Amino acid sequence: MANPARRDRWTDEEVDQLLGNLLRFGVIIATILAAAGGVLYLARHGLEPTDYHVFRGEPAELRRVGGIVRGAFELNAVAVIQLGLLLLIATPIARVAMSLVAFILQRDRVYIVVTSIVLALLIFSLTGGVPG
Amino acid sequence: MSALLFTLLAAGGSFSAGLLGALTGLGGGIVIVPMLTLFFGVDLRYAIGASLVSVIATSSGAAAAYVKEGYTNVRVGMLLEIATTIGALGGAYLAGRIGTNAIAVIFGVVLLYSAWRSTKPLAEHVSTEHAHPLANTLRLNSTYPTPNGLQPYAVQAVPAGFGLMFLAGILSGLLGIGSGALKVLAMDQMMHLPFKVSTTTSNFMIGVTAAASAGIYLARGYINPSLALPVMLGVLAGALTGARVLAGANTKMLRRIFGVVVVVLALEMLYRGVRGGL
């Protein structure tokens, strides 16, 4: 499919297939990672009491991409879970990015603009563009 | 309650919600928040964060199967996503500004609407001509596979559908739900897409819409990993199981039972919201 000579002949069906695989792959990787973090969390804190009744807000390092990645590399259990959840959130965003690439390859100007707007809004949200 | 016990109970409850949601076609997302707040005593904000993550998981998980069937209208989906993502950003922004009691009341109303909606079967309207002028300009008209080969359809009422999608986005961002019912309503009833196209396209959009508000929820600390994980895994497993057994199930009875559950949850959310203390 990556043959450059055939690029502009990409059909909508081929693009759909690719997107379907991307989504499946993203969900599988994200759930495995988050579940591994969950096992680690329960092994360490399984017998401690939980309380989600009072809203405290997650600590700052679990709210930003940088902090989550750093914590996950230190094998902080909740950070590993959060990284999995972050990947899950990123899956539909990756799908929009792939659609943009497909529209560019199909030279579909109107939808290059439409998809760019959607992608920009998603990135704006994930990078904390809206005041909390 | 120990973390282990809580995790198991939350995963079990979420599995049932995902299973019933898939079997009845109502979606499991709408009952996750009431279940967590009313039965598990979880703060509304954490519940909404966990629900939103599970909405993304089920949407992406189901879409992986759907897109292969070739029903999704990516152009319609992408165009309407401009409306749903702007709406979702607005909804998530509002969620931090208005109190949890007001959110609980809005939630109750949306639950009641969903239960009422599910009792009225919708008629499929597929037009083959007289597309809205914008549908022609934006090349939204397409074809879908039927037993008699590919059938073309013409898309109607583009501006009205776009407007309703904006509202669907706001509710999704405010309540942490997929707003699938509203999306399907806009696409089948207003824009006259065939059912199979509207269902799969709506599913495609739900994940993207939820991802737009999830970024804000994450930054605000609403997404609690140890809570969101069992909820997400439970709903996802339930929804995938539901999709597998759908063919042989008697959904009419299930829809009624689930409808009653939704109404009870709605009244309880309304009561708690009005009384205060959520």
Tens of pLDDT, residues B210-230: 999 998 899 889 999 999 999
In this prediction, residues A36-56 reach a mean pLDDT of 89
- What amino acid is encoded at A8 in this protein? D
* A18 interfacial to chain B (CB closer than 8 Å): no
**Closest by Cα among B165, B174, B202, B180 to B21:** B180
* Helix (H) / strand (E) containing B151: strand B149-153
Helix (H) or strand (E) holding B143: strand B142-146
Give the per-residue pLDDT at A130. Answer: 54
- What mean pLDDT is predicted for residues B186-204? 87
> pLDDT tens digits for B37-87?
999 999 999 999 999 999 999 888 776 666 556 678 889 999 999 999 999
Interface ipTM: 0.89
B63 has which bridge partners? Answer: none
pLDDT score of B42:
94
The pLDDT, as a whole number, for residue B34 is 92
Which residues are registered as beta bridge partners of B151?
B144
User: Mean per-residue pLDDT for B173-201?
Assistant: 86
Question: Which three-class secondary structure state does DSSP give residue B51?
Answer: helix
DSSP B192-229: ---HHHHHHHHHHHHHHHHHHHHHHHHHTT---HHHHH
pLDDT, tens digit, 9 for 90 and up, residues B88-124: 999 998 988 898 999 999 999 999 988 888 777 777 8
Average pLDDT on A71-100 reads 92
pLDDT value of residue B258: 82
Predicted confidence at residue B64, as pLDDT, reads 65
Q: Are strands B142-146 and B149-153 parallel, antiparallel or unpaired?
A: antiparallel
B72/A63 touch (CB, cutoff 8 Å), yes or no = no
pLDDT given at position A88: 94
Candidates A24, A88, A118; nearest CB to B85: A118
- Of A125, A12, A84, A122, nearest in space to B229 by CA: A84
* pLDDT at residue number B23: 79
> DSSP assignment of B84-105, as one string?
HHHHHHHHHHHHTTS-HHHHHH
Quick one: average pLDDT of A86-105? 90
Whether A57 and B65 lie within 8 Å, measured CB to CB? no
Q: Which of residues 60-119 of A touch B (CB under 8 A)?
A: 62-64, 78-79, 81-82, 84-86, 88-93, 95-96, 99, 110-111, 114-115, 117-118
pLDDT over 70 (residue A78)? yes
Locus of tokens 């973390």: B3
Position A2 scores a pLDDT of: 46
User: What is the per-residue pLDDT for B249?
Assistant: 61
Residues of chain B with pLDDT > 90: what percent? 44
CA–centroid distance for A106 within its chain? 25
Tally Cβ neighbours within 10 Å of residue B15.
22
Sign of torsion over alpha carbons B85, B87, B89, B95: negative
Question: How does the average pLDDT of chain B come out, rounded?
Answer: 87
Q: Encoding tokens for residue B238?
A: 């339930």
| Residue A63 with chain B: CB contacts under 8 Å | 218-221
pLDDT value, residue B212:
93
Q: What are the C-alpha distances in Å from B100 to residues A39, B43, B215, B240?
A: 32, 9, 20, 31
Question: pTM for this structure?
Answer: 0.90
